[in-house]
Protein backbone atom coordinates (compact mmCIF):
# COMPACT_ATOMS: atom_id res chain seq x y z
CA UNK A 1 0.00 0.00 0.00
CA UNK A 2 1.46 3.36 -0.98
CA UNK A 3 1.41 6.27 1.43
CA UNK A 4 -1.13 8.10 -0.76
CA UNK A 5 -3.60 5.26 -1.21
CA UNK A 6 -6.59 4.61 1.03
CA UNK A 7 -6.67 1.17 2.69
CA UNK A 8 -9.75 -1.02 2.57
CA UNK A 9 -10.03 -1.70 6.30
CA UNK A 10 -9.00 -0.03 9.55
CA UNK A 11 -7.68 -1.86 12.61
CA UNK A 12 -7.85 -0.20 16.05
CA UNK A 13 -5.81 -1.44 19.00
CA UNK A 14 -6.20 0.26 22.37
CA UNK A 15 -3.01 -0.01 24.40
CA UNK A 16 -2.19 0.52 28.04
CA UNK A 17 0.82 -1.15 29.67
CA UNK A 18 0.87 -4.38 27.63
CA UNK A 19 4.60 -4.64 26.97
CA UNK A 20 4.48 -8.43 27.12
CA UNK A 21 1.59 -8.84 24.68
CA UNK A 22 1.48 -5.87 22.30
CA UNK A 23 4.13 -7.21 19.93
CA UNK A 24 2.20 -10.48 19.65
CA UNK A 25 -0.97 -8.57 18.73
CA UNK A 26 0.77 -6.36 16.14
CA UNK A 27 2.50 -9.39 14.59
CA UNK A 28 -0.87 -11.10 14.15
CA UNK A 29 -2.18 -8.07 12.24
CA UNK A 30 0.90 -7.82 10.03
CA UNK A 31 0.61 -11.56 9.30
CA UNK A 32 -2.89 -11.17 7.83
CA UNK A 33 -3.47 -12.57 4.35
CA UNK A 34 -4.93 -9.13 3.52
CA UNK A 35 -2.20 -6.47 3.64
CA UNK A 36 -4.24 -3.43 2.59
CA UNK A 37 -5.05 -2.08 6.05
CA UNK A 38 -4.23 0.75 8.40
CA UNK A 39 -3.36 -0.08 12.01
CA UNK A 40 -4.21 2.64 14.49
CA UNK A 41 -2.76 2.10 17.97
CA UNK A 42 -4.37 4.30 20.60
CA UNK A 43 -2.11 4.52 23.64
CA UNK A 44 -3.65 5.48 26.96
CA UNK A 45 -0.42 6.56 28.64
CA UNK A 46 1.68 3.40 28.82
CA UNK A 47 4.72 3.58 31.10
CA UNK A 48 6.01 -0.01 30.94
CA UNK A 49 7.90 0.05 27.63
CA UNK A 50 4.91 -0.76 25.43
CA UNK A 51 5.57 2.30 23.27
CA UNK A 52 9.13 1.16 22.63
CA UNK A 53 7.72 -2.06 21.21
CA UNK A 54 5.29 -0.16 18.97
CA UNK A 55 7.88 2.30 17.65
CA UNK A 56 10.27 -0.56 16.85
CA UNK A 57 8.05 -1.49 13.89
CA UNK A 58 9.08 0.21 10.66
CA UNK A 59 5.74 -0.10 8.90
CA UNK A 60 3.95 2.83 7.25
CA UNK A 61 0.57 1.18 7.89
CA UNK A 62 0.98 1.68 11.64
CA UNK A 63 -0.17 4.97 13.18
CA UNK A 64 0.32 5.67 16.90
CA UNK A 65 -1.92 8.23 18.56
CA UNK A 66 -2.01 9.30 22.18
CA UNK A 67 -5.37 9.01 23.86
CA UNK A 68 -6.92 12.20 25.23
CA UNK A 69 -9.58 10.50 27.37
CA UNK A 70 -9.57 7.51 29.73
CA UNK A 71 -10.72 3.95 29.24
CA UNK A 72 -10.79 1.38 26.46
CA UNK A 73 -14.19 2.44 25.12
CA UNK A 74 -13.12 6.07 24.85
CA UNK A 75 -9.88 5.00 23.18
CA UNK A 76 -11.74 2.99 20.56
CA UNK A 77 -13.99 5.98 19.91
CA UNK A 78 -10.95 8.23 19.40
CA UNK A 79 -9.57 5.66 16.98
CA UNK A 80 -12.85 5.58 15.04
CA UNK A 81 -12.65 9.35 14.53
CA UNK A 82 -9.28 9.17 12.74
CA UNK A 83 -9.89 6.12 10.56
CA UNK A 84 -9.55 6.59 6.82
CA UNK A 85 -11.83 3.73 5.78
CA UNK A 86 -15.51 2.86 6.01
CA UNK A 87 -14.88 -0.58 7.57
CA UNK A 88 -13.47 -0.78 11.09
CA UNK A 89 -12.12 -3.69 13.11
CA UNK A 90 -10.80 -3.91 16.66
CA UNK A 91 -8.19 -6.00 18.43
CA UNK A 92 -7.41 -5.85 22.13
CA UNK A 93 -3.70 -5.44 22.84
CA UNK A 94 -3.48 -8.82 24.60
CA UNK A 95 -5.38 -10.82 21.95
CA UNK A 96 -4.40 -12.08 18.50
CA UNK A 97 -5.92 -12.74 15.11
CA UNK A 98 -5.61 -15.83 12.97
CA UNK A 99 -4.18 -15.13 9.48
CA UNK A 100 -7.49 -15.00 7.57
CA UNK A 101 -9.52 -12.88 9.98
CA UNK A 102 -9.52 -9.76 7.81
CA UNK A 103 -10.18 -11.68 4.59
CA UNK A 104 -13.09 -13.45 6.32
CA UNK A 105 -14.87 -10.30 7.50
CA UNK A 106 -14.29 -8.61 4.12
CA UNK A 107 -15.79 -11.67 2.45
CA UNK A 108 -18.76 -11.52 4.82
CA UNK A 109 -19.35 -7.89 3.99
CA UNK A 110 -19.38 -8.63 0.27
CA UNK A 111 -21.87 -11.49 0.67
CA UNK A 112 -24.07 -9.96 3.37
CA UNK A 113 -24.06 -6.20 2.71
CA UNK A 114 -27.04 -5.38 4.94
CA UNK A 115 -25.41 -6.50 8.18
CA UNK A 116 -24.56 -4.07 10.94
CA UNK A 117 -21.62 -6.14 12.18
CA UNK A 118 -19.49 -9.01 10.91
CA UNK A 119 -18.10 -11.48 13.43
CA UNK A 120 -16.11 -14.69 13.51
CA UNK A 121 -15.66 -17.44 16.03
CA UNK A 122 -12.58 -17.61 18.21
CA UNK A 123 -10.65 -19.44 20.87
CA UNK A 124 -10.49 -18.59 24.54
CA UNK A 125 -7.00 -19.40 25.84
CA UNK A 126 -6.80 -20.29 29.54
CA UNK A 127 -3.27 -21.05 30.75
CA UNK A 128 -2.29 -22.49 27.38
CA UNK A 129 -5.52 -24.44 26.87
CA UNK A 130 -7.57 -23.37 23.84
CA UNK A 131 -11.33 -23.66 24.04
CA UNK A 132 -13.63 -22.83 21.13
CA UNK A 133 -16.77 -20.81 21.79
CA UNK A 134 -20.02 -22.68 22.28
CA UNK A 135 -22.01 -21.62 19.24
CA UNK A 136 -25.76 -21.61 19.63
CA UNK A 137 -27.97 -21.23 16.59
CA UNK A 138 -25.28 -21.90 13.97
CA UNK A 139 -23.93 -25.20 12.59
CA UNK A 140 -20.90 -26.86 14.18
CA UNK A 141 -19.31 -27.16 10.75
CA UNK A 142 -17.79 -24.35 8.68
CA UNK A 143 -20.66 -21.91 8.08
CA UNK A 144 -21.37 -18.29 7.30
CA UNK A 145 -24.56 -16.29 7.09
CA UNK A 146 -26.92 -14.02 8.97
CA UNK A 147 -27.42 -15.17 12.55
CA UNK A 148 -30.99 -16.52 12.88
CA UNK A 149 -31.28 -14.58 16.15
CA UNK A 150 -28.35 -12.78 17.70
CA UNK A 151 -30.25 -12.38 20.97
CA UNK A 152 -31.12 -16.07 21.31
CA UNK A 153 -27.58 -17.11 20.39
CA UNK A 154 -26.19 -14.81 23.07
CA UNK A 155 -28.72 -16.00 25.63
CA UNK A 156 -28.10 -19.72 25.18
CA UNK A 157 -24.43 -19.89 24.21
CA UNK A 158 -21.10 -18.14 24.60
CA UNK A 159 -20.72 -14.64 23.15
CA UNK A 160 -20.68 -15.05 19.37
CA UNK A 161 -19.45 -11.52 18.73
CA UNK A 162 -16.44 -10.18 20.62
CA UNK A 163 -14.53 -6.93 20.33
CA UNK A 164 -11.43 -8.73 19.03
CA UNK A 165 -13.33 -10.61 16.34
CA UNK A 166 -15.72 -8.11 14.76
CA UNK A 167 -15.83 -5.59 11.93
CA UNK A 168 -18.35 -2.75 11.79
CA UNK A 169 -19.13 -0.38 8.90
CA UNK A 170 -18.49 3.24 9.80
CA UNK A 171 -22.02 4.11 8.63
CA UNK A 172 -23.39 2.00 11.49
CA UNK A 173 -21.52 4.14 14.02
CA UNK A 174 -22.83 7.25 12.27
CA UNK A 175 -26.40 6.02 12.70
CA UNK A 176 -26.50 4.49 16.19
CA UNK A 177 -23.44 5.99 17.89
CA UNK A 178 -20.13 4.62 19.11
CA UNK A 179 -19.05 2.76 22.25
CA UNK A 180 -20.69 3.89 25.46
CA UNK A 181 -17.89 5.15 27.68
CA UNK A 182 -18.46 2.88 30.64
CA UNK A 183 -15.87 0.59 32.21
CA UNK A 184 -17.81 -2.66 32.01
CA UNK A 185 -19.88 -4.29 29.24
CA UNK A 186 -19.37 -1.45 26.74
CA UNK A 187 -18.83 -3.94 23.90
CA UNK A 188 -21.83 -6.10 24.85
CA UNK A 189 -23.95 -2.95 24.95
CA UNK A 190 -22.77 -1.83 21.50
CA UNK A 191 -23.29 -5.23 19.87
CA UNK A 192 -26.76 -5.52 21.37
CA UNK A 193 -27.60 -2.03 20.13
CA UNK A 194 -26.41 -2.95 16.63
CA UNK A 195 -28.39 -6.21 16.67
CA UNK A 196 -31.50 -4.29 17.70
CA UNK A 197 -31.38 -2.37 14.41
CA UNK A 198 -29.45 -4.62 12.01
CA UNK A 199 -28.90 -8.29 11.16
CA UNK A 200 -25.53 -9.71 12.20
CA UNK A 201 -23.39 -11.69 9.74
CA UNK A 202 -21.19 -14.41 11.16
CA UNK A 203 -18.61 -17.00 10.18
CA UNK A 204 -17.61 -20.02 12.25
CA UNK A 205 -14.03 -19.55 11.01
CA UNK A 206 -11.85 -19.24 14.10
CA UNK A 207 -10.51 -15.75 13.59
CA UNK A 208 -9.16 -14.71 16.97
CA UNK A 209 -7.66 -15.83 20.26
CA UNK A 210 -8.83 -14.19 23.49
CA UNK A 211 -6.27 -14.69 26.25
CA UNK A 212 -8.07 -14.91 29.57
CA UNK A 213 -4.76 -14.69 31.42
CA UNK A 214 -2.53 -11.75 30.52
CA UNK A 215 -0.89 -8.76 32.18
CA UNK A 216 -2.73 -5.71 33.49
CA UNK A 217 -6.25 -6.86 32.62
CA UNK A 218 -9.10 -4.58 33.64
CA UNK A 219 -10.94 -7.71 34.80
CA UNK A 220 -8.17 -8.79 37.20
CA UNK A 221 -9.39 -6.66 40.06
CA UNK A 222 -12.48 -6.96 42.18
CA UNK A 223 -15.46 -5.96 40.01
CA UNK A 224 -17.13 -2.68 40.81
CA UNK A 225 -20.79 -2.52 41.74
CA UNK A 226 -23.05 -1.69 38.81
CA UNK A 227 -26.59 -0.51 39.38
CA UNK A 228 -27.69 -1.84 35.99
CA UNK A 229 -26.24 -3.49 32.91
CA UNK A 230 -25.81 -0.84 30.17
CA UNK A 231 -27.52 -3.01 27.53
CA UNK A 232 -30.51 -3.48 29.84
CA UNK A 233 -30.60 0.31 30.20
CA UNK A 234 -30.71 0.67 26.42
CA UNK A 235 -33.45 -1.92 26.00
CA UNK A 236 -35.51 -0.34 28.77
CA UNK A 237 -35.13 3.04 27.08
CA UNK A 238 -36.98 1.81 24.00
CA UNK A 239 -40.72 2.58 23.84
CA UNK A 240 -42.71 -0.39 25.09
CA UNK A 241 -44.77 -0.71 21.90
CA UNK A 242 -41.62 -0.56 19.77
CA UNK A 243 -39.94 -3.25 21.82
CA UNK A 244 -42.96 -5.56 21.73
CA UNK A 245 -43.16 -5.20 17.95
CA UNK A 246 -39.51 -6.15 17.51
CA UNK A 247 -38.98 -9.29 15.43
CA UNK A 248 -36.96 -10.88 18.23
CA UNK A 249 -38.92 -9.61 21.22
CA UNK A 250 -39.12 -12.98 23.02
CA UNK A 251 -35.41 -13.62 22.40
CA UNK A 252 -34.59 -10.16 23.74
CA UNK A 253 -36.46 -10.96 26.95
CA UNK A 254 -34.51 -14.22 27.29
CA UNK A 255 -31.23 -12.42 26.68
CA UNK A 256 -32.11 -9.83 29.32
CA UNK A 257 -32.36 -12.66 31.85
CA UNK A 258 -28.89 -13.83 30.80
CA UNK A 259 -27.60 -10.28 31.35
CA UNK A 260 -29.11 -10.20 34.83
CA UNK A 261 -27.48 -13.57 35.53
CA UNK A 262 -24.12 -12.24 34.34
CA UNK A 263 -24.52 -9.17 36.52
CA UNK A 264 -25.38 -11.40 39.48
CA UNK A 265 -22.15 -13.30 38.93
CA UNK A 266 -20.23 -10.04 38.81
CA UNK A 267 -21.75 -8.97 42.13
CA UNK A 268 -20.96 -12.40 43.55
CA UNK A 269 -17.29 -11.80 42.74
CA UNK A 270 -17.66 -8.39 44.37
CA UNK A 271 -19.04 -10.09 47.51
CA UNK A 272 -22.36 -8.25 47.42
CA UNK A 273 -24.96 -10.92 48.14
CA UNK A 274 -27.85 -8.45 48.28
CA UNK A 275 -27.30 -7.29 44.71
CA UNK A 276 -26.74 -10.88 43.61
CA UNK A 277 -30.21 -11.80 44.83
CA UNK A 278 -31.73 -8.61 43.44
CA UNK A 279 -30.47 -9.44 39.93
CA UNK A 280 -31.47 -13.09 40.25
CA UNK A 281 -35.05 -11.99 40.95
CA UNK A 282 -35.25 -11.07 37.23
CA UNK A 283 -34.17 -14.55 36.09
CA UNK A 284 -37.14 -16.86 35.56
CA UNK A 285 -36.55 -19.07 32.54
CA UNK A 286 -35.95 -22.74 33.33
CA UNK A 287 -32.85 -22.83 31.11
CA UNK A 288 -31.02 -20.74 33.72
CA UNK A 289 -32.45 -22.51 36.79
CA UNK A 290 -29.38 -24.53 37.76
CA UNK A 291 -26.91 -21.65 37.60
CA UNK A 292 -29.39 -19.34 39.30
CA UNK A 293 -29.70 -21.73 42.24
CA UNK A 294 -25.92 -22.05 42.51
CA UNK A 295 -25.48 -18.28 42.59
CA UNK A 296 -28.33 -17.93 45.06
CA UNK A 297 -26.88 -20.44 47.51
CA UNK A 298 -23.39 -18.98 47.31
CA UNK A 299 -24.75 -15.44 47.81
CA UNK A 300 -25.75 -16.31 51.40
CA UNK A 301 -22.24 -17.36 52.41
CA UNK A 302 -20.25 -14.98 54.63
CA UNK A 303 -17.77 -12.85 52.70
CA UNK A 304 -14.81 -14.44 54.46
CA UNK A 305 -15.90 -17.91 53.38
CA UNK A 306 -16.67 -16.62 49.88
CA UNK A 307 -13.11 -15.35 49.63
CA UNK A 308 -11.77 -18.80 50.53
CA UNK A 309 -14.05 -20.43 47.96
CA UNK A 310 -12.95 -17.97 45.29
CA UNK A 311 -9.37 -18.99 45.88
CA UNK A 312 -9.84 -22.75 46.00
CA UNK A 313 -13.21 -23.78 44.64
CA UNK A 314 -13.75 -24.72 41.00
CA UNK A 315 -17.33 -23.42 41.07
CA UNK A 316 -16.13 -19.91 41.80
CA UNK A 317 -13.54 -20.24 39.02
CA UNK A 318 -16.34 -21.29 36.67
CA UNK A 319 -18.37 -18.25 37.69
CA UNK A 320 -15.36 -16.02 37.06
CA UNK A 321 -14.77 -17.46 33.59
CA UNK A 322 -18.49 -17.15 32.78
CA UNK A 323 -18.62 -13.54 33.90
CA UNK A 324 -15.32 -12.49 32.35
CA UNK A 325 -16.42 -13.69 28.93
CA UNK A 326 -19.11 -11.04 29.17
CA UNK A 327 -16.78 -8.37 30.49
CA UNK A 328 -14.48 -8.49 27.48
Report the distance separating Cα 121 and Cα 101, nearest Å: 10
Nearest to 50 by CA among 74, 25, 73, 69: 25
Q: Which residues pair with 120 in a beta bridge?
A: 203
Domain boundaries, the chain: 9-211, 230-325
Please check whether residue 279 is in contact with residue 267, taking contact to mean a CB–CB distance below 8 angstroms.
yes
If one looks up domain 9-211 in CATH, what number appears? 3.90.550.10
The tens place of each residue's pLDDT in the chain, 328 residues long, gives 444 588 999 999 999 999 999 999 999 999 999 999 999 999 999 999 999 999 999 999 999 999 998 899 999 999 999 999 999 999 999 999 999 999 999 999 999 999 999 999 999 888 788 888 778 888 888 999 999 999 999 999 888 899 999 999 999 999 999 999 988 899 999 999 999 999 999 999 999 999 986 655 554 455 567 788 999 999 999 999 999 999 999 999 999 999 999 999 888 878 888 999 999 999 999 999 999 998 898 888 877 666 665 555 444 544 555 555 554 4
With both helix axes pointing from N to C terminus, report the angle between 314-325 and 249-269 in degrees, rounded to the nearest 10: 130
Amino acid sequence: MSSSSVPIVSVIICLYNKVIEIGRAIDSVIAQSISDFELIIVDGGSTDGSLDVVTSYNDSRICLIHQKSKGAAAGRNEGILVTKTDFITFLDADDTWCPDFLSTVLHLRKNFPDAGAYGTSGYVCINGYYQEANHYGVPDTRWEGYLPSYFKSMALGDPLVSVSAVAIPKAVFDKIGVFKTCRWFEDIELFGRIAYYYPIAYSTYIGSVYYLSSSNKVTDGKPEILEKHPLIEFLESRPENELKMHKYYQDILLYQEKLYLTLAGMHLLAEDGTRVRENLSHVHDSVFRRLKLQYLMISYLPNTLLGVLRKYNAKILYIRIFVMKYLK
